[in-house]
Amino acid sequence: MTQTSWTTWAVPAEYVQTYLFVMFMSMYILPKYIFGLSFTTLGWLINLLWFDFVFYIWYKMKITIEKIKRKDDDESNRME
């Protein structure tokens, strides 16, 4: 179960594979092979925290959108 705070949240089991792929791409492939950069130790830490925060925001928005869609798909609130 995820928490409401970024500092205490855990990646849900169904998104672990996506999380690892995004982290690998954003921490290794994009900087090294696309931009020709390599991070210092501090750079790794800052970017890890930054990309984790971005993934957390993406996940929260996805959950919010799914809740709205479920509410809109509810047949019981139709006006007849």
Compute the residue count for the chain: 80
Contact of 55 with 24, CB cutoff 8 Å: no
CA atoms of 62 and 11, how far apart (whole Å): 13
Contact of 6 with 63, CB cutoff 8 Å: no
* Residue 3 pLDDT exceeds 70: no
Q: What are the pLDDT digits (tens) for 21-60?
A: 999 999 999 888 988 988 899 999 999 999 999 999 999 9
Contact of 27 with 51, CB cutoff 8 Å: yes
